[in-house]
Amino acid sequence: MSNDYNTALLLAAGLSLLASIMHLGIILVGPSWYRLFGAGERIVRAAQAGRWYPALVTAAIALVLATWGLYALSGAGVVDPLPLLRPALIAITAIYLLRGVLGPFALAGTGRSGRFIVVSSAICLLYGLVHLVGLIQVWQLLNSTG
């Protein structure tokens, strides 16, 4: 791998892509994984009943996470600059950080387990911090790319 790639954004891309793949795994494995990974009981029951919307929502999340991984790869210099690269990386970083910091408050009383709320918030905070480090490192380079 070339030294021209931004390591933090490469890691950020890998984290988002891993999360995307895990969401696809949840769809494939089914209700037991919905429960394991902290979906509320309403979603678990809907998946058990063969309803379409848990898979649709989970697939949409996987697609968003994969797109975020692609943007991080673009910011890292692995793929050509994507449209609106700088604002997209700012938004992705902000969403991860806000979800990490505000998640425990926003998710309280939603039927999600305390474990899910704490673990998912910590993961999002970590992802956001990795994105932030990479974004700071490539900030000047992004002036010319969007």
pLDDT in tens, the chain (146 residues): 446 899 999 999 999 999 999 999 999 999 999 999 988 889 999 999 999 999 999 999 999 999 999 999 999 999 999 999 999 999 999 999 999 999 999 988 887 878 889 999 999 999 999 999 999 999 998 875 45
Q: Quickly list DSSP for 92-116.
A: HHHHHHHHHHHHHHHSTTSS--HHH
Residue at 83: amino acid letter: P
Residue 144 Cα to chain centre, angstroms? 26
pTM over cut 0.85? yes
**CB contact set of 23 (below 8 Å; sequence gap of 6+):** 58, 59, 61, 62, 65
Sign of the C-alpha dihedral, residues 94, 25, 18, 112? positive
